[in-house]
């Protein structure tokens, strides 16, 4: 097989794998049962990124990006907590 055909075949295989990975990722994000876990992980990642930026920074007051990451993390956790509180089953009813 010539080099251009091998390169084309490799690119086609990579695109098919990427397509499957994107479909699996979208399915996981669209699943209502997995959404709380995904959003909590996203909040944890945002808070962790803010903490790492603070450690790697000058050590002074947090800048706008760090503060934005912390507030975004707080907002996601608050949203998920309120959403789950509204959909929780009631005992004794």
Please report, in tens digits, the pLDDT of each residue of the chain (93 residues total): 687 778 777 777 777 777 777 787 778 777 888 888 888 888 899 989 988 888 888 777 778 888 888 898 999 888 888 887 777 676 665
Together in a domain, 45 and 70: yes
Together in a domain, 40 and 53: yes
Together in a domain, 16 and 48: no
Together in a domain, 78 and 47: yes
pTM to 2 decimals?
Answer: 0.60
Together in a domain, 59 and 15: no
Distinct helix (H) and strand (E) counts, the chain: 3, 0
Residue with tokens 């997995």: 34
CB 75 within 8 A of CB 46: no
Together in a domain, 57 and 88: yes
Residue 39, class by beta-carbon neighbours within 10 Å (0-12 exposed, 13-18 middle, 19+ buried)?
middle
Together in a domain, 53 and 80: yes
Domain range for 46 is 32-93
Cβ count near 69 (within 10 Å): 22
Number of domains in the chain: 2
């Amino acid at each position: 097989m010539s080099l251009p055909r091998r390169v084309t075949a490799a690119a086609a295989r990579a695109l098919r794998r990427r397509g499957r990975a994107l479909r699996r990722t979208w399915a996981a994000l669209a699943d209502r049962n997995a959404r709380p876990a995904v959003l909590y992980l996203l909040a944890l990642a945002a808070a962790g990124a803010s903490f790492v930026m603070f450690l790697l920074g000058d050590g002074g007051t947090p800048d706008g990006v760090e503060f934005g990451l912390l507030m975004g993390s707080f907002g996601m956790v608050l949203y998920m907590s309120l959403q789950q509180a509204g959909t929780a089953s009631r005992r004794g009813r």
